[in-house]
Structure 1
Amino acid sequence: MRTALVLIIFCMYCSLSFAQVTQRVRGTVTDKESHVPLPGVSVSFPGLENKPGAVTDDKGQFVIDNVPVGKHAIHVSYVGYKDIDISDVLVTSGKEVLLPLELEESATKMQEVVISAKKEHINDMALVSTKTFDVQETERYAGSRSDPARMASNFAGVQGGDDSRNDIVVRGNSPQGVLWRLEDIDIPNPNHFAVPGTSGGPVSMLNSKTLGNSDFFTGAFPAEYGNSTAGVFDLKFRNGNSERYETTAQLGFLGTELAAEGPISRKSGSSFLITYRYSTLKLFEGLHIKIGTSSVPTYQDASFKLNFPLGKKANLAFFGLGGLSSVDLIVSDKTTPPDELYGESDRDQYFHSNTGVVGAAFSYIINQGTYTKIVIGETGNEIGAHHDKVFRNVNYAVDSLKSILDYTFGTTATVAHWYINKKMGAQHTLKAGLVNDLYHLDLLDSSRQYPPTRQDWQHREDFKGNTDLLQAYVQYKFRPSDALTFTAGIHGMYLTHNGSKALEPRAGIKWQPGRSNTITLGYGLHSQVQPLYQYFAHLPANAASYMHNYNVDFTRSHHIVAGYDHRFSRTVHVNTEVYYQYLFNIPVETRAGSSFSAINQGSGFDRSFPDVLQNTGTGYNYGLELTVEKSFSHGYYILFSGAVYDSKAKGNDGIYRNTDFNNHYALNVLGGYELKLGKNSTLITGAKVTYTGGRLYSPPDTAASNATGDFIVVDSLRNTLQFPAYFRTDVKLGVRINGKKVSHEIALDLVNITGQKNLLSLTYSSDAAAQGQDPFLKQYQLGFLPLFYYRLDFGFGKKK
């Protein structure tokens, strides 16, 4: 490794140019609501010495040459539209900067609009609880690991809390309530090692090199989004460079990857963008490099986008995302109990998870105020596991192995989303659409895990068939003035196999009484389908055709949000939101005295097979959030986000209890400074401190656990205990070096630099129980984890 590091540094030095290195900045500017290109827009870098700039042509395109490398602020202005300012455009020597920009028309016709706004969210119907996901932030923020989900945990009201997974807990809701959307279609869990019924995982399949800026919603989201009660991650792929071929190569702890982009036809403006990544640890294992464990996770993923402009009015694009992952957790070869446990200690586990998304999108500008788009795709995932119970003697030697679990869950979906958007002057916008997800299911599950002496197999899932989720929406925006905006909409859902249906109103108001202040208010009724495999499960004693939860209805939630934002300058603002969510129609067990609530599902690596359910449960979440942000400018940024909240749910016993995700508070403090090293190099530093309430847990029932061989809780005392508070400090150090045509970046992300031992959970060990020891073991979060990467960017081919 030392030789490789010396070679990298030598190559970087050889590529250096000590004269000022510059790069080209290109982009397009369109109307935010009609998507019509805007000619005559002024785009400039006001902070640079000679203030380089350009004016868009009749296609809304601009080109600015000879922009010095570094991070710069850009200003965009156009008569009759609101100006926008972006404070942190990164310019490097290796790749051209491509900026797709959108301007919002002034509601009242004026010669010049003086209202200026920071880069805002992409969805123009969203007024509350919306954060713009900036791709640069996944690499800028310490501890984010270039993962959009982990980056989102920096937002107020969003919490991770499990170092081994990137589950997104929004305002005390289950991660299961988060909807993932890519290129306007709903997609399955986009993470490696995904478990059915969850929305997170240990490693994301999403690659920041293909993502464009995207929206993240945490409550009362617009009417076009359905099948979610917690939040929405609406992701977009960016287009590849249509004029120049560019390549990125990266070696890092989390993956070795290659990305390429460039023109398919420079004349038509078509382009391609493709990435591929493979597990670096698996590569090291293949090279016989010791990495400290025999349970090496294997994963690989790829993504692509092909974009074809069809004249000035139409566009055709093809896109895809896919990932393969597997891991074998073997304990039967251990001669002593393991100190670090990643899985259950009494079994060998073989797990795999494969996910894919492919789609095509066609958009067409009908006239100056109307455009339409249709996206058709195919998604799928196939998840399976096999467990062998390990029986040992008193000397910890293996006596025998017994197969105790087998399952394979296959789900594919034919998905489509069509919508039409009509801008009726500067004040009125109407959008309506249809969404259809046709699911094809192939589900098999058999278990004889508990008690350990069981010999007969219990079949819990044996289904092959279809169900269809139909959705429709209409939403309207009215801006009587630049200071006041109203939105209203309605969303409908229908699930074909059991006839569940929902009609959900949404509304929002945004008022700007002055340039610096914004007040918002939003409401929404939101519904969500249960994990599909639970509809088609059956009790082991029943026939496969008798699916006891087949007719369970949607979970529903009322969201009310009020917010206030004060902007001190173009880069400094304070935002606060207060919210209340009332959840109802929650599935709970019919068993008398049960504290089970379905909203406690959706995290971790376990599936849930509940008893007979009925939609009589309720719950609530309320809280206060605060964000203080100084966005990147003058070489540094600062972000403080905090939330205090309460999250309760009621089971069939009629008692409101803490949900699994009611940590009560979460605080993040982040900052970073970039120091110029000469004209073309930059030292990158960053730090993050996270402090949250400890995870809740239930006291174990020792007798019941020993009888079944599994962790069984005292049902009446669910979530009455809490682990100590979670604390973690992350630090990032790196350097970015710009050669004449090549840029290098090498960085080290030091996760949990203090080595804090945060508790994750209690687990049950049948081996310890058999030896008369305490069978309940504490499982800890990750310790100190250093993550490195080296990235090389370069381009070739003539510029126009």
Structure 2
Amino acid sequence: MAYKIISNRLTQTTAVVMCCLGSSNAVNGQTLVPDETLTEIVTIGEWGDARDNTQVSVETERLLGVAGAVEDPLQAVFSMPGVTFSDDGEPVIRGSGPGDNAFYIDMVPARNLYHVWGNSIFNKYVIRDFELHPAAFSSQYGNATGGVIDVRLRDPKNVPFETTASLSFLQAAVLMESRISDNQAFYVSARQSMLDKIAKEEDLTEENDGVIIEDSPSSSDYQAKYVWEVNDRNRLSFTAAGSSDEAGARLTDNNNDVLVDPDLAGAIDYSESFDSQGLNWKWKSATGLSSFSLLATNMTEESDFFYGGNQYLKTDVDRTSVRGDYSVSLLNSHTIKAGLIYEDNAYDIDANQKFVSCSDFDANCSTTDVTIQRYVNQVEVTRLTAYVEDLFKLSDKQELTFGLHYSSDDYLDDTQIEPRIRWNYQVDDQWSTYIALGQYSQLPDLEYIAPDIGNPNLETIKANHFVWGIGQSLGHGWSWKTDLYYKDISDLVISVTDPLHPDFDKNYTNRASGKAYGVELMVNKDRVGKWDGWVALSLGKAERTDLINNETIPFDYDRPVMFDLVANYHLSDRWSFGVKWKFQTGDRYTPIVDVARNSLNSRVLEPIYGQRNSETTPDYHRLDFRVQYKKEKAWGYWSVYADIINLYGRENVSGYDFAPNGVDVLNQPPAGFGSNVPVSTSVSQGAIPSIGVEVHF
């Protein structure tokens, strides 16, 4: 829907609002510790595993000390090979768009794992671990053509009542946990942003740019979990989670976006929230060779965006799902997994705004001369998904996993059966290799398939993945691994702007494709002695092809080179230090080659765009530093930490803005821009300090 159009147009407003909590370029881009396996983060076993699922995993604990992460483990994903961040701070994985990924919380599909302002929606101490599947993921995951991030929340500990509380410039958090009986326990966590309580709106407002901050950006989230160990073979758990984000501003007549579309002048109010509840029953056989789980969940989402005085977009979503998973070990060589998932997604849309067909292939989606329209509709999508997977142990050194993923929906009336296969080979004690490939599919975004403004007859987007990896353990904590990957994407959605095209009245069609390919290297040093760290290097290419015009262009998130270096030094049991340096090639942008007066309003100066994504901003790099002191006490512990994000104050360019108001216009236009085009630069903040304290008792 037009929300994408509007959010892209309000570039300066977004930049001002994001500065309050640190832009995505200032907060994201953190580091994830690699494990000894290939392509995936190590998975702590399900219920019944010998490891303790009430504890944060060693891998997750290690991430809490990464410089610049501000003790947020899920920030770590942005420094994995092949992973970068979008303009909105969402993960971009191996040349796929941020909307091409799937997110799970305890195997429940989630809309997102991050607040709008960049930090994750979880208290750090409730994340047991998480998996990143950057490509060729297994058959149990669906509705994604990019990658998968699967977060596992830990179980509550059966201990007397205890509390962990923390306070920093960015947020306040409290986690309470306790036993109820010998076989029942719970925890509940709540967090609230703090910068909006500290900073005044007038201090956040930039002079002369036409944006007045009226409500500082704020965010909050909660998680709760209850577990009842009924007996040795049955357990019941209940999980609840939610988050919210909101902000408010006002655009004056001097704002650059208002000067292009006067109907944007006025107040902007944004709010987004979700609440979810899930009930999970797990059973295992007396022999431990088979298990079954049944999960029922409900999630409600609300998104309200008001702007331009009388324009708005309100979307309410009610998601209900039931999932059953079964696993059995046979003949000491086969492990069979199968599952069935039913999902019902009900969307209520209420909008009063300008509607323009616009996709990722369009350089400009002008709303200047478009009439505001009221749109009210309901869309319901019911999906049935099933999978089966056989892990066949060929020998002590080889494993073969073959699976099928089935999906169907009653809205597009589409059915997909997708084979997926993976071969693992442990050459010897040091060397290992694998090959993985599969077919994947995903429903188009709601804005593309909604009746009247979209095309309800679109096809699902499809992708083929291929990955080959090899790795070696070198001893003394050292190891390395490399992946070679290729993604072929078809039936991508593109807008139809030519009145002579047969699908012009449908607004969108599946006449686009894409490719992404590259090689990645990760060198890891586990903690042996006082230090640990890792290096990640990615070389890749991502492109998209408009099949209507037979034109291939670089993808929005084409990043030929990405590099991360992390080092942590543990001086003693109390003192630890960390540094992280990140580098990547700049963002793709579409230059403005000329300007013209609007034919209906001579006061409006409109940009004329050149070739899509033909130029690149300067390279991005930054250095983060962290120090922490932790003191154990008889009653628990207390700690204090300090993070400095972007230590040397690099002002990384995130884009160039059309600036008809003449504020901060560059003397020399960037590459590709016409000499008569007024342009300003959007840059990340300089050094950002964060100090926090934590107490556990």
Q: TM-score interval w.r.t. the shorter chain?
A: 0.7 to 0.9
Aligned partners of 1:290, 1:151: CA distance in 2, in Å? 33
In structure 2, what is the equivalent of residue 497 of structure 1?
Answer: 411
Structure 1 position 685 matched with structure 2 position 601: no
**Counterpart check, 1:725 vs 2:641:** no
Within 5 Å, give how 1:630-669 maps onto structure 2: 630-651=525-546, 652-669=548-565
Counterpart contact for 1:768–1:774, Cα < 8 Å: no
Distance across 1 between alignment mates of 2:661 and 2:354:
18
| Aligned-pair CA distance for 1:632 | 2.3
Matched residue, 1:457: 372
Structure-2 separation of matches of 1:649 and 1:325? 32
Cα deviation digits, residues 638-687 of structure 1 (max 9, x gap): 110010001011012112110001021100001010111xxxx5112111
The aligned residue for residue 355 of structure 1 is 274
Q: Is structure 2 residue 693 aligned with structure 1 residue 779? A: no
Is 1:259 the counterpart of 2:165? The answer is no
Sequence identity (%) = 19
Structure 1: how far apart are the matches of 2:532 and 2:598? 53
Q: In 1, are the aligned partners of 2:595 and 2:608 still within 8 Å (CA)? A: no
Query: 2:256, 2:661 within 8 Å by CA — same for their partners in 1?
Result: no
Asked if 1:136 is matched to 2:61, the reply is yes
1:619 maps to 2:517? no
Q: Residue 567 of structure 2 corresponds to which residue in structure 1?
A: 671
What is the CA–CA distance in structure 1 between the aligned matches of 2:598 and 2:254, rounded to whole Å? 24
Q: Distance in 2 between matches of 1:670 and 1:610?
A: 52
How has the CA–CA distance of structure 1 residues 337 and 570 changed in structure 2, closer, same or farther, with 3 Å as cutoff?
Answer: same
Amino acid at match of 2:426: Q
**One-letter amino acid of the counterpart of residue 71, structure 2:** S
Q: Which residue of 2 aligns with 1:204?
A: 120
- Kindly state the Cα deviation for residue 516 of structure 1 after the two structures are TM-superposed: 0.6
CA distance in 2, matches of 1:278, 1:320: 17
Deviation, 1:380, is: 1.9
Q: 2:382, 2:597 → 1: CA distance?
A: 40
Structure 1 residues 386 and 727 mapped into 2: Cα distance closer, same or farther (>3 Å)?
A: same
- Counterpart residue type for residue 692 of structure 2: Y
Q: Determine whether 1:308 maps to 2:228.
A: yes
Answer yes or no: is 1:419 the counterpart of 2:325.
yes
| Counterpart among 112, 125, 130 of residue 189 in structure 1 | 112
Q: Give a deviation string over 1:76-118, Cα, whole Å, max 9, x none.
A: xxxxxxxxxxxxxxxxxxxxx95489xxxxxxxxxxxxxxxxx
User: What displacement does 1:537 show?
Assistant: 5.0
Note if contact 2:173-2:191 (Cα within 8 Å) is conserved in structure 1.
Answer: yes
Higher mean displacement: 143-152 or 370-379: 143-152
Mapped contact 2:433–2:470 kept (Cα < 8 A): yes
Provide the rounded CA distance (Å) in 2 between the counterparts of 1:621 and 1:777. 31
Rounded to whole Å, the distance in 1 between the matches of 2:75 and 2:578 is 16
Tell me: CA distance 1:337–1:135, structure 2 relative to 1, closer, same or farther (3 Å).
same
Q: Whose Rg is larger?
A: 1
Tell me how far apart the structure 2 counterparts of residues 383 and 710 of structure 1 sit (CA, whole Å).
Answer: 32
Cα distance between partner residues in 1 of 2:642 and 2:46: 43
Q: Contact 2:90/2:114 (CA < 8 Å) preserved in 1?
A: no
- C-alpha spacing 1:406/1:33, structure 2 compared with 1 (3 Å): closer
The answer as to 2:290 corresponding to 1:370 is yes
Alignment of 1:398-477 (within 5 A): 403=309, 405-448=311-354, 456-459=371-374, 461-477=375-391
> Larger deviation: 746-755 or 144-153?
144-153
Structure 2 residue aligned with 1:225, among 138, 141, 150? 141
Partner of 2:647: 753
In the alignment, residue 140 of structure 1 is paired with which amino acid? G
Q: Which residue of structure 1 lines up, in the alignment, with residue 244 of structure 2?
A: 324
1:741 Cα shift?
2.1
Mark the runs of 5 or more structure 1 residues left unpaired by the alignment: 1-30, 39-59, 62-96, 102-118, 120-133, 194-200, 339-343, 389-402, 540-547, 595-608, 795-800
1:335, distance to aligned residue in structure 2 (A): 9.5
Structure 2 residue 484 is the aligned partner of structure 1 residue 578:
yes
Partner of 1:20: none
Q: Is the 8 A contact 2:595 2:605 kept in 1?
A: no
Superimposed CA distance per residue, residues 549-602 of structure 1 (whole angstroms, 9 cap, x where no aligned partner) = 1111111110000000100126211000001111111122344599xxxxxxxx
> Contact 1:184 / 1:375 at 8 angstroms: preserved in 2?
no
Q: Distance in 1 between matches of 2:421 and 2:370?
A: 56
RMSD value, Cα: 3.2
Question: Could you report, residue by residue, the CA deviation over 1:292-316 in whole angstroms, capped at 9, with x for unpaired residues?
Answer: 5555112211111101111000110
The 10-residue stretch of structure 1 (642-651 or 494-503) with the greater mean CA deviation from structure 2:
494-503
Q: Deviations over 1:134-181 (max 9, x none)?
A: 32244211122334442101211111265xx43111111111111110
CA distance in 2, matches of 1:661, 1:774: 25
> Do the aligned residues in 2 keep the contact of 1:763 with 1:776 (CA within 8 Å)?
yes
The DSSP-based 3-state class of the residue aligned with 1:176 is helix
Q: CA deviation at 1:346?
A: 5.8
Shift of the 743–228 alpha-carbon distance from structure 1 to 2, 3 Å rule, reads same
- Cα distance change, pair 313–284 in 1 and its aligned pair in 2 (3 A): same
Give the secondary structure class of the aligned counterpart of 2:685.
coil
Distance 1:624 1:538 in 2: 43
Q: Using the alignment, how far apart are the partners of 1:476 and 1:385 within structure 2? A: 46
8 A Cα contact 2:256 2:660, kept in partner: no
Distance 1:173 1:289, change over 3 A: closer
The 1-side partners of 2:410 and 2:107 are apart by 22
| Equivalent residue runs for 1:758-773 within 5 Å | 758-765=652-659, 767-768=661-662
* Matched AA of 1:675: L
Partner Cα separation in structure 2 for residue 440 and residue 353 of structure 1: 17
What residue in structure 2 maps to residue 170 of structure 1? 93
* 1:710 to 1:421, Cα distance in 2 relative to 1, 3 A: farther
Does the 8 Å contact 2:56/2:127 carry over to 1? Answer: no
CA shift in 2, pair 1:742/1:668, >3 Å: same
Unaligned runs of 5+ residues in structure 2 are 1-42, 206-212, 258-262, 356-364, 666-674
> What is the TM-score of this pair, normalised by structure 2?
0.82
Q: Equivalent residue for 1:155?
A: 80
3-state SS of 1:505 partner: strand
State the match for 2:467 in structure 1: 561
* Structure 2 residue 159 is matched with structure 1 residue 239: no
Counterpart residue number, 2:456: 550
Paired with 1:289 and 1:698, the residues of 2 have a C-alpha distance of 33
Change (3 A) 1:711 1:790: farther
Q: Quick one: which amino acid aligns to residue 649 of structure 1?
A: R
The 1:741/1:206 distance shift into structure 2, 3 A limit, reads same
Q: 1:778 to 1:319 in 2, by over 3 A?
A: same
> Are the equivalent residues in 2 in contact too, given 1:484–1:509 (CA < 8 A)?
yes
Rounded Cα–Cα distance in structure 2 between residues aligned with 1:366 and 1:142: 44
Question: Once the 2 structures are TM-superposed, how far is the Cα of residue 209 of structure 1 from its aligned partner?
Answer: 1.6
CA contact (8 A) 2:538 2:563 kept: yes
1:364, distance to aligned residue in structure 2 (A): 0.4
CA distance in 2, matches of 1:467, 1:219: 26
- Cα separation, partners in 2 of 1:321 and 1:33, compared to 1, 3 Å: closer
Letter in 1 for 2:157: N
- Correspondence for 2:218 among 277, 280, 298: 298
Counterpart of 1:156, as a letter, is P
8 Å CA contact 1:431–1:475 kept in 2: the answer is: yes
- Comparing 665-674 with 237-246, greater Cα deviation is found at 237-246
Query: 1:436-481 CA deviation, whole Å, 9 max, x = no partner?
Result: 220011012222599887695224x421241112111000101122
Deviation at 1:755, TM superposition (A): 1.1
What is the CA-CA distance between 1:791 and the residue it aligns to?
Answer: 0.8
- 2: distance between equivalents of 1:192 and 1:32? 26
